[in-house]
Structure 1
Amino acid sequence: MPRVAGRKRRSEPEEVNEDDSPAPETQRRRVNHGSDDEDFGGAGAGPATQGDGVEEMAKKLVRLALACELQRKPLRRGDISEKVLGARGRQFKSVFAQAQAQLQEVFGMQLVELPAKEKVTLQQRRAAQRSQSQSKGTTAWTLTSTLPFEFRDPDIILPPAAPTTTEESKYIGIYTMLVALIMLNGGSLPDANMERNLKKLGLDDNTPLSDYDKTEKLTKRLEKDGYIVRVKESTGTGEDDIFWTVGPRGKVEVGEEGVRGLVSTVFGHPEEEAGMELDAKVMRSLGVNERTDDAAPVAQQAGRSRKASKRKARPQEDDEDEEDDDKDEDEDD
C-alpha cells in the first residue's frame, strides 16, 4: 500500500509538468506566426477588417481571371461568387473594382463583358422575347489588353507558350481568318461557303495543329473557345440550314478592328490610296457605314428634342422672373 501511494504522488508532478511546460513555447510560436502573417497581408492574423477582406478577395479574383484566360474560358459570375466571394456576395462591386485596378496597374489588362450569343434562329428570337422581362446583368467577362497599340506587336508580346508558341501562333492565325471571313460576309456564313473557304486555306480535311489534326476536331475547339458558332435552323422541309456566326470571344478578341488589320496587312497599307479604298470596302462589308447612317437620324432627332425642350424652358423661366419682379415691387410698396 505505501508503494502504491508513493507512485501516485510521483505521477501528479509529472502530469503537471507535461501540461505546464509546453505552454510558453506554444504562445511564442503563435506570436511569431502572427507577425509573419502581418508581413504577408494579415491573412491569418485573426478576423480581417472589411478593407483587408476586400483586398484579399480582389487578389483571388485576379488569379481566377488569369487562370480562366489561360484556358480561354469565360470568367462567369457564378465562379466569382463560389470561388472568391463566398458569403460576401454584396461586396461584388468593390471587389471587382479593386481587381480591375490591380489588373490594369500590374498586368496591363482589364476585364470586359463578353457579349451574349446572337439569337439568329426564329426559335431563339422567340425565346429571347419571352425572357426580356427578366433582369440581364453581366454574367461573363474576359481579359483584354490595355497596352497602347505600338506595344502589342507580336515581336514584343509573343503568343502563349502553352503548348508551344508555334502551335499557338497557328491557332491564332486560323481563328482570326475564320472570324474575318464570317464578319466580311455580313456576320453569317453558310456551311457550304465555309467548306469552300476551308478548302482554299488547305483546311478542308487536315490542319497544321498537332493536337487538332482533323478539321472537325478543330472546329469543335473553336466553338468551345467561343470564336465561332455553328447554327442549325429547321426549314420545315425535313432539312436543316447550317451556317456559322461569330462567337462572343471572337467579337472581343478579333472584332472589326482585327478584321481591318488583317485585310490591310495581307492586301495593302491604309496610308496608300489603294489601301484606303480597300479599307472603305471592308467597312461597307462589315456594315459600319450602315450603322453610322442609322445612328445619324437618331442623333439629329435627339438634338432637335433637346433644342425644343430648351425653348419650352425659356418662356417658363421668363415667367418666373416676371413673377419674382412683381414680388419685389410689392415688397417695396
Structure 2
Amino acid sequence: MPPTRKRRAPANEEPEDLDGHVRQTQRRRVSDPDEDEFAGGDVSAVQGDGNFDAMVKNMVRLVLACEYSRTPVRRADITAKVLGTNARHFKAVFNEAQIQLRGTFGMEMTELPLREKVTLAQRRAAQKSQTTQKSSGSWILTSVLPERFRQAEILPPSQAPTAELESQYTGLYTFVVSLILLNGGMLPDGKLERYLKRVDVEEAAAQNSVNIMVSGGDKTEKLLKRMEKDGYVIKIRDNTSGEETVEWTVGPRGRTEIGDTGVRGMVRQVYGEVDDQAELERALERSLGTNEVPKRRAEQAAQTQKKGRRRRTEVREGGGTSDESSDDD
C-alpha cells in the first residue's frame, strides 16, 4: 500500500492565516483597556513583581498603623509613603491590599463620606465653589465579619492604653453619636451637656481625656474635643441669625463606624426585652428618619435672617418718618 501523503497547504494561504492571527491578537490587546488601567499600564507589576508585593505590604502596614491611632489614611499619604514614583499603580495596589486585609484581618478599607454642609454659610460657599468634590479620598478600616461574629468575645477592645479605658471610650462616643442621630442629626450644645450630666460621665471623661492636650475647660469638654479630633462628632458654630448658636453633628468616622445600624444596636441593648417590641422599633425608625433637621434648620436660619433685615428696614423707615413729622411741627 503506497504511503499516503498529506496535502501541503498552498504557500499563499500561510501568510494570510498568520496575518489574521496577528490582527486578532492585536485586537484583543487593544480592546481590553480596563486591564491596562487596572494594572497601571504595567502588566508585570500585577504578575508577582517583587516591587508590587512590597507596595501592597507597605499599604497594609500603613492602614493598620493609622487605624491604631484612629487617623484616616489619605490618598496623598499612600502616594508619599507607599507608592512614591509608582503612583499609577494605585488601583492595583489598593485592590490587592483589600484582598489581604479581608483574608487575614477580617477588615477592609471603607471610604469616609464628605462632611455635610449644614450651615447657611457652608451651603453658600459650596454653591459658589466652581469645583465639586465627589469623594473624600480618605479611608478607615471596618470589619467584614458576619454579624454573628461581631461580639465582644471575638472582637475585644484594644489593649492601648488599656482594654478598660478603650471600652469606656467606645461606649462614650457611641452614646454621644446615638444621641445626635436620635435627635435628628443636630444637637444643641446645652442639650448635649444636660444629657451627659444626667448619665454622670465626669469620671470616665477624666480618664479618657488624659492624653488630650487642652488648656482649660472641664473634663467633659476635653472628652468631646477628643471625639471631635477622632472624627466622631463635629462642633458647629453658626451666627447667621445674628446670635451665635453651638450645635453638634456626627462626623465622617461616626457615620461610617457607627451610623444608624450602631444606634439601633445600642438602643436595643439598653432597652432589652420590652412588652411591645414593635412599638420600640417604630419609635426608633421615626427618630432615625428625622435626619433632615440640619437642612430644615439652615432654611429656618435663612428665613430668620431675611426677617431680621426686613425689621431693620422697617425701623429705619419708621425713624425717618418720625424725623420728618417733627420737622413739620
User: TM-score if structure 1 supplies the norm length?
Assistant: 0.68
1:190 equivalent among 182, 188, 191:
188
Please state whether the residue corresponding to 1:160 is helix, strand or coil.
coil
Establish whether residue 106 from structure 1 lines up as the match of residue 104 from structure 2.
yes
Supply the AA of the counterpart residue of 1:276: A
> Counterpart of 2:232 in structure 1: which amino acid?
Y
Change (3 A) 1:133 1:141: same
Distance 1:236 1:80, change over 3 A: same
* Cα contact 2:114–2:135 (8 A) shared by 1: no
SS in structure 1 at match of 2:104: helix
Q: Residue 73 of structure 2 aligns with which residue?
A: 75
Q: Is 1:144 matched up with 2:142?
A: yes
Task: Say which of 212, 226, 229 aligns to 1:221.
Answer: 226
In structure 2, relative to structure 1, the CA distance for the partners of 1:104 and 1:191 (3 Å cut) is: same
**Which secondary structure does the structure 2 equivalent of 1:116 belong to?**
coil
Q: CA deviation at 1:216?
A: 1.3
Deviation of 1:126 (Å): 1.5
Q: In the alignment, which of 278, 281, 284 is matched to residue 283 of structure 2? A: 281
Distance 2:108 2:172 in 1: 25
Q: Which amino acid aligns with 1:232?
A: R
Preserved CA contact (<8 Å) 2:168 2:204: no
Of 91, 94, 98, 1:93 maps to 91
SS in 2 for 1:142: strand
**Distance in 2 of aligned mates of 1:194 and 1:114:** 25
Match of 2:266 in 1: 262
Structure 2 residue ranges without an equivalent (≥5): 1-43, 211-218, 293-329
Deviation (angstroms), 1:253:
1.1
Residue 296 of structure 2: aligned partner: none
Map Cα deviations across residues 28-66 of structure 1 (whole Å, 9 max, x no partner). Answer: xxxxxxxxxxxxxxxxxxxxx523222221111110000
Q: Does the C-alpha gap of structure 1 residues 200 and 289 become closer, same or farther in structure 2, counting only changes over 3 Å?
A: closer
Q: Distance in 2 between matches of 1:241 and 1:120?
A: 13
- Secondary structure of 1:207's counterpart equals helix
Partner-residue secondary structure (3-state), 2:207: coil
SS of the residue corresponding to residue 118 of structure 1 reads coil
Distance in structure 2 (CA, Å) of the matches to 1:168 and 1:228: 18
| CA deviation string 1:201-230 (max 9, x = no partner) | 113x55355252611111110000001111
Identity of aligned residues (%): 50
3-state SS of 1:155 partner: coil
Change in CA separation of 1:288 and 1:240 when aligned onto 2, cut-off 3 Å: closer
1:174 aligned partner, one-letter code: L
Aligned counterpart, 1:327:
none
In 2, the alpha carbon distance for the partners of 1:288 and 1:98 equals: 39
Structure 2 equivalent of residue 62 of structure 1: 60
Q: Provide the aligned C-alpha RMSD in A.
A: 2.1
Larger radius of gyration, structure 1 or 2?
1
Partner of 1:165: 163
* 1:314 match: none
Tell me how far apart the structure 1 counterparts of residues 266 and 153 of structure 2 sit (CA, whole Å).
16
Q: Please state how far the C-alpha of 1:289 moved relative to its aligned partner.
A: 11
In structure 2, the partner of 1:212 is 209
Query: How far apart, in 2, do the equivalents of 1:189 and 1:133 lie?
Result: 30
1:131 lines up with 2:126 in the alignment: no
- Rounded to whole Å, the distance in 1 between the matches of 2:291 and 2:220 is 35
Inter-partner Cα distance in structure 2 for 1:77 and 1:154: 32
Q: Which moved more, 1:131-140 or 1:49-58?
A: 131-140
CA shift in 2, pair 1:96/1:138, >3 Å: farther
Which runs of 5 or more structure 1 residues have no equivalent in the other structure? 1-48, 291-333
Give the whole-Å Cα distance in 1 for the aligned partners of 2:271 and 2:132.
Answer: 46
One-letter code aligned to 1:207: A
| SS of match in other structure, 1:216 | helix
Which moved further from structure 2: 121-130 or 60-69? Answer: 121-130
Question: Is 121-130 or 166-175 further displaced after alignment?
Answer: 121-130
1:265-322 superposed Cα distances (whole Å, 9 cap, x missing partner): 11134xx7612220121111111899xxxxxxxxxxxxxxxxxxxxxxxxxxxxxxxx
- The alignment status of 1:241 with 2:248, answered yes or no, reads no
Distance 1:79 1:247 in 2: 21
Q: Hey, what does 1:250 align to over in structure 2? A: 254
- Aligned residue pairs, count: 239
> 1:224 and 1:192, CA in 2 relative to 1: closer, same or farther beyond 3 A?
same
Amino acid at match of 1:168: E
Per the alignment, residue 173 of structure 2 pairs with 175
Equivalent residue runs for 1:46-61 within 5 Å? 50-51=45-46, 52=49, 53-61=51-59
**CA 1:193 to 1:135, structure 2 compared with 1: closer, same or farther past 3 Å?**
closer
